[in-house]
Structures are given as structure tokens and as C-alpha cells.
Amino acid sequence: MAGLDKHFGTDAGLDTKPAAEIAAWLEKNASKRIESGAKEPRLTTTAWFKREHREVAAKTWQDSRVKSPANCAACHKGADQGRYGEREIDIPGVGPYRERD
């Protein structure tokens, strides 16, 4: 019987690990959603945001139509529907975004 107890204990141990992994995965992906939802001001200070926006000129961020990096919709015309694709970017004072090569 002592062996059976141990067996159950092992089973419980096996169940715990995947749950923790799923929780970690959910947490990671949930925070990604918050980022694309663009309601979290601190998003604009992340390395991710800076990397994605390195082509945006300093004077663009200061443009009165932009005012703040958190004003996603100033450039991302589909932002209110959660769309941030390259083809829906129109930068005030610059124009539609085009990949530079």
C-alpha cells in the first residue's frame, strides 16, 4: 500500500508540470494581446516597440497629430480594429509607410 501511495504521488507530480507550462504560455500570450490592444502605455517603452518603430523619425513622434507613441491610431489606420499591418500605416507628415531597402 505504501507503494501505491507513492505511485499516486508520482502521478500528481506529472500532472503539475504541464499545468505550469500552460500557465506560463498563457501568461506570455496574454501579455502579447495587451500589447496589440495598445491600451497599456508602458508598451511604448519596451524593446519590442522601439525595434518595430526604429524607422519612425523623432520629429514624427513630436508631430501634433501624433503627440505620443501611445496614439497608435495616428499612424495605424486599422488600430481600432486591432490591425497593425504594414499596409495600413499612414504616418502624419510622411505618408503611407513603405519598406525601405
Residues at the interface with ligand HEC (CB under 6 A): 38, 43-44, 52-53, 55-56, 60, 66, 69-72, 74-76, 84-86, 89, 91, 97
Cα 23 from Cα 28, distance rounded (Å): 9
Would the CA dihedral through 30, 51, 58, 46 be positive or negative? Answer: positive
Given a contact cutoff of 8 angstroms between Cβ atoms, the answer to whether 59 and 94 are in contact is no
Q: Smallest distance from the beta carbon of 95 to ligand HEC, in angstroms?
A: 11
Nearest-approach distance from CB 27 to ligand HEC, in angstroms = 19
In the block, which residue shows the cell 499545468?
Answer: 19
CB of 57 to ligand HEC, least distance (A): 9
Q: Which residue, 16 or 96, is less far from ligand HEC as judged by CB?
A: 96
